[in-house]
C-alpha cells in the first residue's frame, strides 16, 4: 500500500514543499517534476553512472535510487541548476566550458556535482591542496576511499574532464 508523503526541502536556497502519493518516489523525479530542476538527469537508474547526482546536506547523492522518505525533512539540496549562472558560473562550470570537457555533455551533471561535493568536503576538512590529476581520475573511477561512487562518460572525454576539474578545483581552493 503506497504511503503519501510531504516534505519541506530547500532546493538551491529556495523553499519547496513537495508531496508524493508514494513515499518511495525517487528524489530525481521530485526534483525534475516538482522543483523545475533540469541539471540532474536519468541515465542508468541504478546508481552506476552519476547523471542524477545532487548534494543533500552536502552529501553526494544518487537521486535516481534515493527514495523521498530517505531525504530528511528540511534537507538542503543543491543541483547543477543552482551552483552558478550564465553571468556568474561556478569555477567548475567555467572550467568545463574553457576545456570543452564534453562531447554530448550528458555526463556533465555527474562530473560537476560529484567533484563539487568532493572538493567542498576536502576544503571543509581543511585540505586546500589542489587534487592531482591522478587523484581526480581515481575519484571519478571510484578508487579513492572517499569516492562513494564512480562516474561514467559514454563519449570518452575523461582526459578533458579531469583537466576541467583540476582547473576548477584550483580556483575553488584559492
Ligand atoms: S541515473 Fe543515477 S546513477 Fe545513473
Ligand atoms: S560527454 Fe557524452 S557522456 Fe560524457
Q: Report whether pLDDT(22) > 90.
A: yes
Indicate which residue's Cα is closest to atom 4 of ligand 2.
Answer: 153
Domain limits at 43? 5-82
Task: Give residue-wise pLDDT tens across range 40-52.
Answer: 999 999 999 999 9
Whether residue 125 sits in one domain with residue 101: yes
How far does residue 31's CA lie from ligand 2's centre (Å)? Answer: 22
* Entry pTM: 0.97
What average pLDDT does range 55-66 have in this prediction? 98
Whether residue 124 sits in one domain with residue 65: no
Residue-level pLDDT at 45:
98
- Locate the ligand 1 atom nearest the alpha carbon of residue 43 and give its number: 1
Q: Report whether pLDDT(1) > 90.
A: no
- What does residue 54 show for φ and ψ, rounded to 5 degrees? -135, 170
Residue-level pLDDT at 73:
98
- Select from 82, 102, 131 the last residue of a domain: 82
Domain count of the fold of the chain? 2
- For the domain that residue 103 is a member of, what is the CATH number? 1.10.150.120
Task: Output the CA–CA distances (angstroms, integers) from residue 154 to 107, 126, 129, in the order listed.
Answer: 8, 34, 29
Task: Give residue-wise pLDDT tens across range 143-164.
Answer: 999 998 999 999 999 999 999 9
Q: 162 by DSSP, 3-state: which?
A: helix
Ligand 2 shell residues, CB under 6 Å = 102-107, 153-155, 157
Whether residue 115 sits in one domain with residue 74: no
- What does residue 61 show for φ and ψ, rounded to 5 degrees? -135, 135
Residues of the chain above pLDDT 70, percent: 100
- Select from 82, 115, 130 the last residue of a domain: 82
Whether residue 102 sits in one domain with residue 72: no
Task: Give residue-wise pLDDT tens across range 80-136.
Answer: 999 999 999 999 999 999 999 999 999 999 999 999 999 999 999 999 999 999 999
Cell 576545456 maps to which residue?
99
Ligand nearest to the CA of 156: 2
Taking the C-alpha atoms of residue 168 and residue 15, their distance in angstroms, rounded to an integer, is 29
Whether residue 108 sits in one domain with residue 49: no
Amino acid at each position: 500500500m503506497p504511503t503519501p508523503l510531504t516534505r519541506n526541502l530547500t532546493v538551491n536556497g529556495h523553499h519547496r514543499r513537495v508531496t508524493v502519493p508514494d513515499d518511495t518516489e525517487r528524489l530525481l523525479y521530485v526534483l525534475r517534476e516538482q522543483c523545475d530542476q533540469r541539471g540532474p538527469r536519468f541515465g542508468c537508474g541504478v546508481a552506476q553512472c552519476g547523471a542524477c547526482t545532487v548534494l543533500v546536506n552536502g552529501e553526494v547523492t544518487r537521486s535516481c535510487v534515493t527514495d523521498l522518505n530517505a531525504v530528511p525533512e528540511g534537507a538542503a539540496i543543491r543541483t547543477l541548476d543552482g551552483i552558478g549562472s550564465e553571468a556568474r558560473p561556478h569555477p567548475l562550470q567555467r572550467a568545463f566550458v574553457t576545456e570543452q570537457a564534453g562531447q554530448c555533455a550528458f555526463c556533465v551533471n555527474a562530473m560537476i556535482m560529484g567533484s563539487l561535493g568532493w572538493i567542498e568536503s576536502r576544503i571543509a576538512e581543511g585540505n586546500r591542496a589542489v587534487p592531482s590529476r591522478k587523484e581526480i581520475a581515481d575519484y571519478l573511477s571510484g578508487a579513492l576511499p572517499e569516492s562513494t561512487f564512480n562516474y561514467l562518460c559514454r563519449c570518452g572525454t575523461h582526459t578533458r574532464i579531469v583537466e576541467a576539474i583540476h582547473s576548477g578545483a584550483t580556483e575553488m581552493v584559492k
